[in-house]
């Protein structure tokens, strides 16, 4: 049985072209780029090229920084804790504004700030799962140091109006950070047009390798390093650069940006096809308006079918998806994001996320539709709730 | 944390073969009808059970023989996760052929044991043990309907931990006999709190009427008073003037509580002491420093402060965070 991977918001297959680009840096050009000798020197042009690909990919200016690190979780922690040490700790700026939609690495880093006496506002989304610039504007006060709002949500795929939010922050003189992990390669990300100060991403979400990511810092925005002890990344992030990882991330970024049109047409078409087919089944609903979502993401609730049982059946048929159901989490807690959207109780137990990629094929979608139809019949037969 | 915990286990990896197999092909799901009952010369019983907080519900069908009280047939329906379906399926199977009296004695622990592939390997990961509790509760419900009695009369009294079926008495005995001082020790001795952890302290997955932290504080206080009759007895404390009471509470806060909080950069001040009609004394506190605004304060720190005051001043004290 050929397996079908529809969990691309969790991680993605490494594009074979990316792996090919990375390969020479393991056994041939393995020098430390900081070394003076030829082994170090020969690596450096490739790093420059990768940086060029990253800068071009997100529209960063030459005077801005993209600090290469291990992942968006590291980048997000660097921004949140860095903001504490550079601003929140010793000045009269004592507030941070974020949202209830954020990834746990933002949420928990903000909890850490709260323990240090910082006041954090967690904005609740509206029923559509949306955070508006107006909501952010109203939450900002003269004591606010930082606003952190994700570009696109991992569970629902909903794309937030980050340009307007960043403009609101700029007008108010407040630093603005966005976690763009779910945006790169799915929607255009151009920092010439979106005036955020900090932006974070992870390569493995756009067909690059795991364990490498980036943190964009706009010129003039302050940020103390999280990792001390070396001159790498201009002293902003100590530690020998993952050479192959950076080369792979650069290549992955280049392809991702080149593929945006394909993502927006072909991936979207397959996602819509899947969504249309599932909505044909009685008592199935999807979360969030299609036009507001990343083209690859679909979050559905099948009434009477518990989420873990649902993805269990998919997995038995070789299809990978994920669920926000309380029963499938380590803590047995329902997805905070779905709770934040104000979804009814049942949705918190039935929600299943299907996320496609540019590697998803039409045949895969056709088979997925068939498998889901069967799974829904089987599980509803068993269910007391249907 | 240790070698095996650093790369967290996947839930599904920890399910036994039997759990997977029954999830894929449950043998007893479906419904039984009055016609089925007539054909088997029995009585149809339909019981519903649902844990709202978990989002799982289960319906159990029995046909109980008119002559011998033996369960001739059992089927179920379930809105729930894999563990809930597999454990309900096994439970239904275990009911068949037993008398109602015998079936009522089946617990979720028996069901879990029956789902194991090998003697010493649990059938489900700890946090999913919770999902099998409903399979146990629905049997009680069916028996109550069959006997036309209130289900409460069939339930074990004062169960503190539903997952491991540990009673209040068992926890108290374990603390006293083994001189236990921590929650971890209670879990090691009784298994209470080892699974979904709701019973440890407020704020967990499910709301409970009694928590291990409170039991431990109360029993420790009782033990300490028994060992040290010279100390402040609770009746004495209630009889003291309010000034004396405040002084004793402040002294205890200084000695036992503030140094611990200061270690984390936090602190607290005593705001008020109020005697309530129920004979309890409510100690109102305000957090300072890093305790302030900390999400963990409400549950964790409050229970620590209360435990400390109960253990050293009076077990009538209850802490309220302003």
SS3 assignment for A268-336: HHHHHHHHHHHHCCCCEEECCCHHHECCCEEEEEECCCCHHHHHHHHHHCCEECEECCHHHCCCCCCCH
The CA distance from B224 to the nearest CA of chain A, in Å, is: 34
Residue B155 in tokens: 């339930």
A327 at the B interface (CB within 8 A)?
yes
Return per-residue pLDDT of chain B as tens, 322 residues: 577 778 777 888 889 999 999 999 999 999 999 999 999 999 999 999 875 555 678 999 999 999 999 999 999 998 888 888 999 999 999 999 999 999 999 988 899 999 999 998 889 887 788 777 888 889 989 999 999 988 877 777 788 888 878 888 888 888 888 888 888 888 877 788 877 788 888 877 777 888 998 899 888 888 888 877 665 555 577 778 888 888 888 888 888 888 877 766 778 888 888 888 777 888 888 887 766 655 455 567 888 888 888 878 888 888 888 7
Structural domains in chain B, CATH included, are 3-154 (3.90.1010.10), 156-231 (no CATH), 232-322 (3.30.300.130)
A383 at the B interface (CB within 8 A)?
yes
Distance in Å from the first CA to the final CA of chain A:
31
Alpha-carbon gap, residue A103 to A182, rounded angstroms: 11
**B84: nearest Cα among B122, B46, B51:** B51
Helix (H, G, I), strand (E, B) or coil at A121: strand
Whether the CB-CB separation of A11 and A210 falls below 8 Å is answered with: yes
In DSSP terms, which residues pair with A5 in a beta bridge? A320
Measured between beta carbons, which residues in chain A are less than 8 angstroms from residue B131?
Answer: 327
Name residues whose C-beta falls within 8 Å of residue A250's C-beta, 6 or more positions apart in sequence.
A21, A49, A50, A51, A52, A53, A54
Q: What is the pLDDT of residues A16-53, one digit of tens each?
A: 999 999 999 999 999 999 999 999 999 999 999 999 99
Helix (H, G, I), strand (E, B) or coil at A192: coil
Among all residues of chain B, which has the CA nearest to that of A332?
B205
Q: What is the pLDDT of residues A70-104, one digit of tens each?
A: 999 999 999 999 999 888 888 888 899 999 999 99
A127 at the B interface (CB within 8 A)?
no
Among all residues of chain A, which has the CA nearest to that of B50?
A384
Catalytic residue set of B: 54, 131
The CA distance from A53 to the nearest CA of chain B, in Å, is: 33
**A96: nearest Cα among A108, A75, A110, A116:** A110
Q: What is the ipTM of this complex?
A: 0.82
**B285: nearest Cα among B301, B300, B296:** B301
Q: What is the pLDDT of residue A332?
A: 57
Cross-chain residue pair B48–A114, CB shorter than 8 Å: no
Angstrom distances, CA of residue A184 to CA of A163, A190, A242, A268, B226: 15, 10, 20, 15, 66
pTM of the model: 0.79
Is it the case that residue A172 has pLDDT exceeding 60? yes
Query: Could you tell me the residue ranges of all domains in chain A?
Result: 16-258, 260-382
Angle at B50 between CA B46 and CA B52, to 5 degrees: 160
Residue A14 in tokens: 């490494």
Measured between beta carbons, which residues in chain B are less than 8 angstroms from residue A386?
Answer: 79
Measured between beta carbons, which residues in chain A are less than 8 angstroms from residue B50?
Answer: 384
The A residues from 252 to 311 touching B (CB cutoff 8 Å) are 304-309
A108 at the B interface (CB within 8 A)?
no
CATH class for domain A16-258? alpha beta
The CA distance from A11 to the nearest CA of chain B, in Å, is: 16
Measured between beta carbons, which residues in chain A are less than 8 angstroms from residue B130?
Answer: 332
Angstrom distances, CA of residue B86 to CA of A256, A309, A321, B79, B91: 43, 11, 21, 12, 9
**A212: nearest Cα among A185, A189, A233, A243:** A243
Asked if the A260-382 domain carries CATH number 1.20.1260.10, the reply is no
B interface test, pick of A301, A384, A386 with most B CB neighbours within 10 Å? A384
Q: How many Cα atoms occupy the beta-carbon half-sphere of A257 within 13 Å?
A: 14
Percent of all residues in chain A with a pLDDT value above 70, rounded to a whole number: 94
B75 at the A interface (CB within 8 A)?
no
Nearest to A114 among B23, B264, B293 (CB): B293
Q: Do domains A16-258 and A260-382 have the same CATH topology?
A: no
Q: Are strands A319-320 and A213-217 parallel, antiparallel or unpaired?
A: unpaired
Alpha-carbon gap, residue A40 to B128, rounded angstroms: 52
Backbone Cα Rg of chain B: 24
Alpha-carbon gap, residue A321 to A4, rounded angstroms: 9
Alpha-carbon gap, residue B205 to B130, rounded angstroms: 10
């Amino acid at each position: 049985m050929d397996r079908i991977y529809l969990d691309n918001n969790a991680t993605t297959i490494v594009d074979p072209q990316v792996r090919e680009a990375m390969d020479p840096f393991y056994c041939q050009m393995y020098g430390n780029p900081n070394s003076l000798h030829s082994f170090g020197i020969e690596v450096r042009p490739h790093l420059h090229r990768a940086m060029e690909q990253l800068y071009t990919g997100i529209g960063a200016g030459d005077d801005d920084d993209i600090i290469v690190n291990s992942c968006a979780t590291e980048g997000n922690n660097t921004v949140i804790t860095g903001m504490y040490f550079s601003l929140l700790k010793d000045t009269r700026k004592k507030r941070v504004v974020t949202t209830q939609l954020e990834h746990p690495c933002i949420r928990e880093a903000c909890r850490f700030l709260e323990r240090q006496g910082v006041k954090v506002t967690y904005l609740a989304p509206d029923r559509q799962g949306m955070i508006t610039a107006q909501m952010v504007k109203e939450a900002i006060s003269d004591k606010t140091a930082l606003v952190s709002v994700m570009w696109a949500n991992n569970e629902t795929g909903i794309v937030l109006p980050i340009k307007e939010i960043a403009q609101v922050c700029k007008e108010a003189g407040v630093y603005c950070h966005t976690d763009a992990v779910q945006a790169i390669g799915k929607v255009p990300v151009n920092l010439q047009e979106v005036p955020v100060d900090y932006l974070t991403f992870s390569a493995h979400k756009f067909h690059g390798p795991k364990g490498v990511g980036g943190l964009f810092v706009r010129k003039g925005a302050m940020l103390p390093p999280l990792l001390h002890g070396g001159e790498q990344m201009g002293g902003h992030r100590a530690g020998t650069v993952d050479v192959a990882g950076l080369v792979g991330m650069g290549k992955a970024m280049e392809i991702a940006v080149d593929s945006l049109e394909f993502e927006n047409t072909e991936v979207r078409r397959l996602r819509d096809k899947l969504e249309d087919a599932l909505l044909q089944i009685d008592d199935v609903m999807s979360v969030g308006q299609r036009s507001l979502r990343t083209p690859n993401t679909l979050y559905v609730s099948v009434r009477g079918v518990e989420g873990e049982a649902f993805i269990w059946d998919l997995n038995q048929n070789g299809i990978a998806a994920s669920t926000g159901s309380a029963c499938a989490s380590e803590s047995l807690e329902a997805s905070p994001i779905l709770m934040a959207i104000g979804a009814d109780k049942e949705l918190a137990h039935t929600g299943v996320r299907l996320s496609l990629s540019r590697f998803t094929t039409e045949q895969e979608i056709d088979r997925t539709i068939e498998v889901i139809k069967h799974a829904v019949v089987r599980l509803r037969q068993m269910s007391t709730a249907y | 944390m240790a070698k095996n915990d650093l790369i967290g286990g996947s839930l599904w990896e920890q399910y036994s073969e039997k759990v997977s197999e029954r999830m894929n092909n449950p043998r007893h799901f479906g419904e039984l009808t009055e016609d089925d009952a007539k054909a088997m010369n029995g009585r149809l019983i339909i019981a519903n059970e649902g844990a709202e907080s978990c989002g799982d519900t289960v319906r159990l069908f029995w046909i109980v023989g008119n002559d011998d009280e033996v369960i001739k047939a059992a089927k179920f329906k379930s809105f729930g996760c894999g563990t809930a379906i597999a454990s309900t399926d096994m439970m239904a199977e275990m009911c068949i052929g037993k008398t109602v009296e015998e079936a009522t004695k089946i617990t979720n622990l028996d069901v879990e044991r029956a789902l194991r592939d090998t003697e010493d390997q649990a059938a489900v990961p700890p946090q999913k043990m919770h999902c099998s509790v409903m399979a146990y509760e629905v049997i009680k419900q069916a028996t109550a309907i069959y006997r036309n009695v209130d289900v409460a009369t069939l339930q074990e009294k004062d169960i503190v931990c539903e997952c491991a079926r540990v009673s209040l008495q068992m926890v108290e005995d374990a603390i006293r006999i083994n001189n236990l001082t921590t929650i971890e020790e209670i879990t090691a001795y009784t298994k209470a709190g080892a699974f979904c952890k709701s019973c440890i302290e407020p704020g967990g997955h499910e709301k409970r009427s009694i928590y291990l932290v409170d039991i431990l504080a109360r029993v420790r206080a009782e033990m300490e008073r028994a060992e040290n009759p010279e100390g402040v007895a609770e009746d004495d404390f209630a009889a003291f003037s309010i000034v004396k009471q405040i002084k004793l509470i402040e002294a205890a806060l200084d000695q036992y509580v503030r140094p611990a909080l200061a270690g984390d950069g936090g602190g607290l001040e005593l705001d008020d002491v109020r005697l309530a009609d129920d004979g309890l004394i409510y100690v109102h506190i305000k957090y300072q420093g890093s305790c302030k605004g900390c999400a963990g304060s409400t549950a964790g720190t409050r229970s620590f402060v209360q435990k400390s005051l109960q253990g050293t001043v009076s077990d009538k004290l209850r802490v309220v965070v302003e």
